[in-house]
Structure 1
């Protein structure tokens, strides 16, 4: 009797087909090695829009899991998922993306005591685009300010590993699985599945994320850079900060601490007409990275 796996193997062996499987969440990825384990939380939110200052969370999922310093993932622990009534109508556009309707969230709320219990037992929170998720959940529960964060987009150098995109669905496809996305819990489960994989260079995705998220970053503020250099700065990866209360008005770039000297050489050679010895710099690590405070 021909099995599904036999057919898959036959198709794959031709070199003309790639078979992808529906993601089926598992309870364990790796047998116990005796290594010291930590608790990570994969987090995902759905919201009424993109701006954490004006929009509201309508769904939160927390999926905790065990991992060790080598990036091995062990047990997947019981998850928390909740809808929340934002107090305003959900737009048709957001419903089309998330599948969440006004009727689904009516009278619903996130249990912050339960959220606190999850966060108190964890060493690290991970999101796929933590720059989006962290400011939203910090507004919900301040304990998210006091824990290390990592991003499974920014803290894994996907492009250098040969991947042409960083969307979770695309990366899942490249690793041979698919799922029905844009609901918080399944997105978390897909994220953990991705972390369990091995990069083309041979390193576990989770190990690469741990190493990169443990760095210290420096934000260089290119204050008083000549206006005519704006396109050069943008091509270099600088972003514009329009300023405001307590915020600088200048071009800025975040980079690892060990690249600061080279960046200062570039700025003095290509941007500033006169030698600049010192520029404002902010240093931050995983405790502050992706936070609305930075």
Structure 2
């Protein structure tokens, strides 16, 4: 599998990123009601104005008989009385007429949640399907765009005065809707000066998005609406951030809206000068490409997997008297390895867990025959002192064999001993010491489970597997020594065999790694394993055998989880 730079994309316009506001039809609506609860109160009046490009296209107004008495204070506020609505249509006539007037539009209201909730509740009561209008709330926009120095509050009456509305709001639905139209146009003018040109940007507008960040949205223009990897780059072409998405264009566009709230991403967008897309055929391919690009370029705004070379391993050395050590490199020296660990601290914790149970020597030098005194570890019973002859080579070899067996096959006896030690410390109310043993045990179990899961796949020269794709064909992968070497998606209703054969023939040639290391970063091999273990995946072909130890650390991790040990 090769990673290409992607194809050239034509520079798009701002309108490519959404519907231009000048082309959007808005229906500005206002309701008068008998109270504030949509579940119990009724609508007494509906007023609406249909506008596009700053021009009024039509108006809608009707009183509504709510089927209940209008409270006196509501009548005083709105001027609408029971006698006025007595001969008016009921909501079952008024609402369908309004929905017809508002078809194919964006609803706008001042305090939109109030009006929209009443309309939705009425529709549900009539068994009508709510059309799912996009909604703009002028209260929300005003809170972002109008300062306290300009207006004492964000009420419609205050904003109408501020913006010089031609209609004074007076709690009659059509009058208030007309006033809201003028407020909407004034607010759109303000956001237009800040670079907002599309409906999608207006819907997600917030003052948290800086004008500089919003101007960068043109970087998303021309990107494909397809799954894959995207790479933000600075003016010199240096990768700043690598991500994946099922829709590259939509995901990149979100970095310039209110949905992106991470401070470091705002910093990255301010530096970015271009975005390179890499279209992928599957989610697995995209995830693997992302990992490889992060490891290769070490983009400053990615936080994970940037330095796989810093991973460390636990090694059981090949010596007359083997010992445990922490190393950065897996060598072809016959030693047993466990890992990798993300940090040296994790490796040291796992190492201590083994030493808690197995009295292996910790001295790093060559044992000199005839030594008369042992170190303090021997006095504490943590080492058999082979250096002084107190422990024979055969006795020590049995302990080393237990360590080697735990690292490569079955850690049950080691885990059991650690649990017994933890229980004993807890019984003595030495809870901090028990917690330390628990943490060390978990570090060990996780590392052993990872090694014993990865190593079998790393040893397989070639594995081909497939599963049904959403398009109806087959998503096929070729894995060599734990590395994703090739992938393809076959067409629906086509014989997949020739496509699989072509993919395998073109797949990357992968040299055998040094066990238990895979030929890829272990994180990539784990992603491949996650895919292979999904329901519906079928094994097409395999060169070698795929087995895992029955009593391995993975089983121990499951048992610990079942016992509520995190």
Scaled by the length of structure 2, the TM-score of the pair is: 0.29
Shift of 1:121: 3.2
Q: 1:202 to 1:50 in 2, by over 3 A?
A: closer
2:181 is the counterpart of 1:192: yes
Q: Which structure's CA Rg is the greater one?
A: 2
Given that 1:152 and 1:209 are in contact with CA atoms closer than 8 Å, whether structure 2 keeps it comes out as: no
CA offset at residue 179 of structure 1? 1.2
**2:174 maps to 1:174:** no
Which structure ranks higher in relative contact order (CA pairs < 8 Å, sequence separation ≥ 6)?
A: 1
Q: Secondary structure at the match of 1:197?
A: helix
Q: Deviations over 1:262-292 (max 9, x none)?
A: 9xxxxxxxxxxxxxxxxxxxxxxxxxxxxxx
Match of 1:62 among 36, 45, 48: 48
1:165 aligns with 2:157: no
Aligned counterparts, 1:217-232, within 5 A: none
DSSP 3-state at the match of 1:55: coil
What is the distance in 2 between the residues matched to 1:49 and 1:35? 34
How far apart, CA to CA, are the structure 2 residues paired with 1:78 and 1:66? 10
Instruction: Tell whether the 8 Å contact from 1:127 to 1:150 is kept in structure 2 after alignment.
Output: yes
Distance 1:48 1:192 in 2: 24
TM-aligned CA distance change 1:259 to 1:36, over 3 Å: closer
Cα distance in 1 for partners of 2:185, 2:193 equals 7
Q: What is aligned with 2:132?
A: 146
Answer yes or no: is 1:131 the counterpart of 2:113.
yes
- 1:88 deviates by 1.2
User: Is the Cα contact below 8 Å between 2:141 and 2:187 reproduced in 1?
Assistant: no
Q: How does 1:91-130 map to 2 (within 5 A)?
A: 91-109=71-89, 110-122=93-105, 124-130=106-112
1: distance between equivalents of 2:263 and 2:130? 32
Q: How far does residue 175 in structure 1 lie from its aligned partner after superposition?
A: 2.1
Deviations 1:61-93 (A, max 9, x none): 1211113xxxxx2x2022111111111110111
In the alignment, what sits opposite 1:213? 203
Gap runs ≥5 in structure 1: 1-33, 68-72, 217-254, 263-294
Partner of 1:281: none
CA contact (8 A) 2:156 2:169 kept: no
Q: Deviations over 1:100-130 (max 9, x none)?
A: 00001103124333223222232x1000000
Q: What displacement does 1:167 show?
A: 0.7
SS in 1 for 2:65: coil
Say if 2:48 is the partner of 1:46: no
Describe the shift of the 1:95–1:155 C-alpha distance in structure 2 as closer, same or farther (beyond 3 A): same
| CA deviation after TM superposition for structure 1 residue 214, in Å | 3.7
Q: Which protein is richer in helix relative to its size?
A: 2
Distance change >3 Å, CA 100–CA 203, structure 1 → 2: same
Q: TM-score, normalised by structure 1?
A: 0.54
Q: Structure 1 CA distance, aligned partners of 2:189 and 2:50?
A: 26
Assess if the C-alpha contact under 8 Å between 2:145 and 2:187 holds in 1. Answer: no
Find the aligned partners of 1:61 and 1:204 in 2 and give their Cα distance. Answer: 30
CA apart distance, 1:41 = 0.1
Which of the residues 256, 259, 278 maps onto 1:257? 259
Instruction: Kindly indicate whether the alpha-carbon contact (under 8 Å) linking 1:196 and 1:204 is maintained by their aligned counterparts in 2.
Output: no
Q: Within 1, Cα distance between the matches of 2:197 and 2:160?
A: 17
